Amino acid sequence: METQQFFQTALARIENAAQILNISPTVIEYLKNPVRSLEVSIPVRMDNGQIKIFRGYRVQHNLAIGPAKGGIRFHPDVTMEEVKALAALMTLKCAVVGLPFGGGKGGVCCNPPELSKGELERLSRGYIKAISKIIGPDIDIPAPDVYTNPQVMAWMMDEFGLLTGYDAFAVITGKPVCLGGSLGRLEATAQGNLYVTQEVCKSLGIPLQGARVAIHGFGNAGSIAAELFHQEGAKIVAACDVRGGLYNPDGLSPREILESQRKGWHPIRGSYLISPYELLTLDCDILLPASVEGIINQNNGAQIKARLICELANGPVTPEADEILTQNKRLVIPDILANAGGVTVSYFEWVQNKTGYYWSAEEIQDRLREKMVCAFNTIFKLRSDLKISFRTAAFCTALKRLAEAMETRGWL
């Protein structure tokens, strides 16, 4: 899905929710326009001594509920339009889970695998230096995203400290634990997805024990989800990345999948090689799309056999596919709920940094479960009361909270 189309799709779903709730059109106008969009040039001295200029972006979409929150991605395809779309998604995601944040997003157009560790550090520090005047613990709190990680966050936090003259751990989340990072952050997105899936299965009467699960996208979130669902007794029947995948109707262990993936995908213990496209149409109970936007679309929507699709990635199902899946009685749990575990534990990290009191791994899991289950119950009730889809109910939930905040502030 093109990034502009991704943004327009989100706006169309917001407008649909506004009509259902009879929300003021002024709310939609606010959500159509980011509060602030910053484009910066980042000069970096490369290892060969030459200076290379990189383009960077930071967007603060809406601050009605609280300071901006959202990741920073390093990727060769990063554009301002993409960052705007993802910032809008973060506004909705924070609102649907009830976090005191607005949406933000950042990015740098670069290709990290081509950079040395020194070049990556200088780029990370240069980016934070360029956007430092619009971020802060109570203004805008970045986090990791595509091709960024705890080490990159550590460099960024340190650079912000050098610029301000003091360490503000709460300026950024997703840091290493030794620098104020939170336990449970790495697995948070997949863990939150599991909690939501468990609640859906309870409501549908689907036993998770023995349920056949297929995972499209076997990166960080997908591989951790495989481990977590496997521990709950689900049967991981298939997994893939962009290069290929593996299918075994009798189930695969996460270790077996990783072993096959490392070797470029090869059959293990009676399994079959499949393409990423074939995985989507397998006969299974639960499909976890954990790869890219628009992977389930009008071309393959009618072939989806999974009873439940729980969006682990951002925007994996297009509006056209949504209609087809609804007609075929396939239940879709939208990304703004299903993958909100990551930003939720980022919120926990921010709270711990602000208070200087750090929670145990068990406390993190308990608090995450409580947040995800509460959000699910709110959306499930609204879905039942208004006879609407899970996605529309999630957008309605987010929009109600945003509209209430705007009205209370006196913006409407």
3-state secondary structure of 394: helix
Q: Which fold has domain 188-329?
A: Rossmann fold (3.40.50)
Q: Measuring CA to CA, how many Å separate 42 from each of 39, 54, 190, 369? A: 10, 5, 33, 40
- Are the beta carbons of 7 and 84 closer than 8 angstroms? yes
Among the options 69, 84, 93, 105, which is catalytic? Answer: 105
3-state secondary structure of 358: coil
- The span from the CA of 11 to the CA of 28, in Å, is 8
Tokens of 112: 């990290």
**3-169 and 188-329 in the same fold:** yes
Average model confidence (pLDDT) across the chain:
94
- pLDDT for 13 equals 87
- pLDDT for 193 equals 97
- The residue to which tokens 């289950």 are assigned: 373
> Which CATH number applies to 3-169?
3.40.50.10860
Indicate the domain borders of the chain. 3-169, 188-329
- The span from the CA of 394 to the CA of 388, in Å, is 10
pLDDT digit string, tens, across residues 1-11: 556 677 788 88
Q: Is 117 a catalytic residue?
A: no
Q: Per-residue pLDDT for the chain (412 aa), expressed as one digit of tens each?
A: 556 677 788 888 889 899 999 999 999 999 999 999 999 999 999 999 999 999 999 999 999 999 999 999 999 999 998 899 889 999 999 999 999 999 999 999 999 999 999 999 999 999 999 999 999 999 999 999 888 999 999 999 999 999 999 999 999 999 999 999 999 999 999 999 999 999 999 988 889 999 999 999 998 899 999 999 999 999 999 999 989 999 999 999 999 999 999 999 989 888 999 999 999 999 999 999 998 788 999 999 999 999 999 999 988 999 999 999 999 999 999 999 999 999 999 999 999 999 999 999 999 999 999 999 999 999 999 999 999 999 999 999 999 999 999 999 999 8
- pLDDT for 293 equals 80
- Per-position DSSP letters for 79-120, written without gaps between them: -HHHHHHHHHHHHHHHHHHT-S-EEEEEEEE--GGGS-HHHH
